[in-house]
Structure 1
Amino acid sequence: MPDTLPTSIRREYDRAAAEYDRRWARYNHASLALLRPWIAGPTLGRVLDVGCGTGNLAPALAEWGASVDAYVGVDLSPGMVRMAAPKLGVGGWPGAVVAGSALALPIATASFDTALCASNLHYWPDAHVGLAELRRVLRPGGRLLLVDWDRAPLRMRAFDLWMRRGLRIKYHRMYSRREMRALLLEAGFRVAHEARGAAGLLWRLAAFEAASVPA
């Protein structure tokens, strides 16, 4: 089974890092906002941001008044990690950001209370490996917050075909909301809440709050 992501993805995001926030600000805000109802209320404890990109979750947590003990971001791209580092201090909690693959996280087992994964699932060559890693690093009963592209709407299926032909940054596949839910259940998570949303006129998103079921 694959334990890492293609190096082509890392190279493309290294190239895009400096312009990423400017180009994708609207999408990032809308996708993270879909998770806000599950973030702003409960105590999050130690938070792991998988595929953290330029670190936009950290200021969002601070803006929403989230209760955080520590924040760690992991991203495949060293360029994105460099852009994320200056944002870590906004919440006043301990923070770090490191380069690493979502499919082989450089994180100790059962060391986080909350894991967040935003717009990463579609890149993973093996979703089962990635979700198993997320479950591994969460304490028993820890929470996973997941948001990704929803392939179910017709416009997203058409967009999927176009993206596979036109984008330099190649992804593995989109999943429908039903498929994402099934993947979470197979990986040992209990789904507590689901939501649908949009980012702009095109992007359709599905979001989940799930708990790691003790083995």
Structure 2
Amino acid sequence: MPDSLPSSLRREYDRAAAEYDRRWARYNRASLALLRPWIEGRKLGKVLDVGCGTGNLAHALAEWGASVDPYVGVDLSPGMLRKAAPKLGAGGWPGAAVAGSALALPIATASFDTALCASNLHYWPNAGAGFAEIRRVLRPGGRLLLVDWDRAPLRMRAFDLWMRRALRVEYQRMYSRQEIRVLLHDTGFRAAHEARGAAGMMWRLAAFEAEAV
């Protein structure tokens, strides 16, 4: 199985960048809200946003009163990073945007306190490699806050088939909460908290707060 994200994914999000925030506003609000209890008013230290997209999490961190120093967003798409740039310092902290892949982060080992990953897991060709790479850049005791699609509900399994066969949406696969728990455990994380939620009628989501051990 390949360990790199396809270049077609970068091109897709470069094309989508201009309309992304408007088109996906409802989904973004609902999905990121699952992380809020683990972020609001917290001291997060050095924050790495893996697959930061247009920087919506950076904006949310400021809105929720998180303490961040600094924030670094990594994304495969230059177009998305350009849209993210104005949001990076939303809370008055230093912010930077870096082009790179979640499977080969251009980040030094053990250099961050908190890693955020919102709606990226389903794109990774090798989920274990992605989690291992995040674990590499986190300090011992650092936290990973993750939200993604939840394959367990029947409607999501049906949605999965429809997106693949009818819409031909390009992504690797959905994971159930149990599968994510195993992946976290096998790559050096301890799942501390879980949450479930929805975004609209179809999307069912799972969120995790996990500690690097």
The question of a shared fold, defined as TM-score above 0.5 by the shorter chain, is answered with: yes
CA–CA distance in 1 between the matches of 2:174 and 2:64?
29
- RMSD, aligned α-carbons: 1.0
AA in 2 matched with 1:180: I
Whole-angstrom CA distance in 2 between matches of 1:88 and 1:185: 31
**Distance in 1, Cα, partners of 2:167 & 2:211:** 34
What is the rounded CA distance, in whole Å, between the counterparts of 1:115 and 1:102 in structure 2?
A: 11
SS at match of 1:110: coil
Q: What is the number of equivalent residue pairs in this alignment?
A: 213
Check the 8 A contact 1:150/1:204 in 2, yes or no.
yes
SS of equivalent residue, structure 1 residue 170: coil
**Distance apart, 1:42 and its partner CA:** 2.7
- Structure 2 distance, partners of 1:101, 1:129, is 11
Q: Which amino acid aligns with 2:110?
A: A
Deviation, structure 1 residue 41: 3.6
Distance 1:11 1:29 in 2: 24
Which amino acid in structure 2 is aligned with residue 159 of structure 1? Answer: F
The CA deviation string for residues 140-193 of structure 1, in whole angstroms up to 9 with x for no partner, is 110000110000001000000011123454100000111111110111100100
Contact 1:2 / 1:103 at 8 angstroms: preserved in 2?
A: no
Residue matched to 1:150 = 150
Equivalent residue, structure 2, for 1:163: 163
Deviation at 1:89, TM superposition (A): 2.1
Alpha-carbon contact 1:48-1:114 (below 8 Å) kept: yes
1:108 maps to what in 2? 108
| Matched AA of 2:161 | L
Contact 1:75 1:98 in 2 (8 A): yes
CA positional deviation for 1:83: 0.5
Superposition TM-score, scaled by structure 2 size: 0.98
Matches within 5 A, 1:31-110: 31-110=31-110
Partner of 1:22: 22
Where in structure 1 are there 5+ consecutive unaligned residues?
Answer: none
How far apart in 1 are the matches of 2:119 and 2:181?
15
1:208 is aligned to 208
Q: Percent identity?
A: 84
Aligned to 1:141: 141
Deviations for 1:53-110, whole angstroms, at most 9, x for unmatched residues?
A: 0000111001000011110000111100110011112110000011110000000101
- State the TM-score, normalized to the length of structure 1: 0.97
> Is 86-95 or 148-157 further displaced after alignment?
86-95
1:4 aligns with 2:4: yes
Would the aligned equivalents of 1:8 and 1:169 in 2 still touch at CA under 8 Å?
A: no
Opposite residue 91 of structure 1, the aligned amino acid is G
Name the amino acid aligned to 1:17.
A
> Matches of 1:179 and 1:25 in 2, distance apart?
28
